[in-house]
Amino acid sequence: MFQNAPGGTFTMTGDVTVARMGYGAMQLAGPRVWGPPADRDEALAVLRTAVDELGVNHIDTADFYGPHVTNQLIHDALSSRYEQLTVVTKVGAVRDSEGGWPHARSPEQLRDQVHENLRTLGVAALDVVNLRVGGGPDGHSAVPGSLAEPFGALAQLQKEGLIRHLGVSVVDAEQVAEAQSIAPIVTVQNWYNVAHRGDEALIAMLAAQGVSYVPFWPLGGFTPLQSGTLDRVAATMGASPQAVALAWLLHRSPNILLIPGTSSVAHLRENIDAASISLTRDVLAQLDEMA
């Protein structure tokens, strides 16, 4: 299936090679990532189109999306294709009755979350589990501190055969190193895009180690990217600003994997098409003005 992998491929570990352009399932849930999708048939079509037509084999999810909604959709749409997919989930938070995202990182809570992911995805072992660590004033930035206890709990679940590979999310370089001292990691998932470049050094360090880096909010998340430079560059190329922003990430470093999300098949195709956009040195230099 790798002949048509969008964006080329990256080997996360010996038995896991993925297309660099993947798919993030968060937007398949209802408003504020709560409840079922407005159009369930379209949500299922997005997942099947991504895998069956567009060459995506890396799906990002979490059982707290919905909660349970995106995992169940992935199961219903793609369980017969699991052997050809890498489904990455995350733990470290739950949803409260008001739709909040409280931390849940005790060993007991993490064990419960892993078992919920196993149940809703319908698998015996999870491909990759990211421990979501940070938060900070903006809710999405790394907060210094030890992750030894929660990451150690996931490493124990890996030893028990419930998790194949581990990753970390919303972390700094010191936390990455601490995690690696406990068990190997295959991916780091942090906030990064063409306008938010705080992880430049971390990306370079991970690239040297052969570890993948997955930027969440590659298009700005709940606050879409707004830049005159990006708009101008996109206009000269005859492309959308969103497509250029995704293409920039693929050009930025070979260990960057993308998981742009959408609830629309048409928008999904537009996102995947960004993998075919070539950026010249001049264009890259102009986009560097945004840093």
Q: Residues 263-276: pLDDT tens digits?
A: 999 999 999 999 99
pLDDT at 168: 98
pLDDT at 135: 82
Domains and CATH numbers, the chain: 2-223+254-262 (3.20.20.100)
pTM: 0.96
Which residue in this structure is represented by tokens 């990182």?
105
Which ranges of the chain have pLDDT less than 70? 1-3
pLDDT at 139: 77
pLDDT at 221: 80
**Which residue numbers are catalytic?**
65
The answer to whether 202 and 188 have CB atoms below 8 angstroms apart is: yes
Alpha-carbon distance of 33 to 66, in angstroms, equals: 5
Cα dist. 247→7, 62, 67 in Å?
Answer: 9, 25, 31
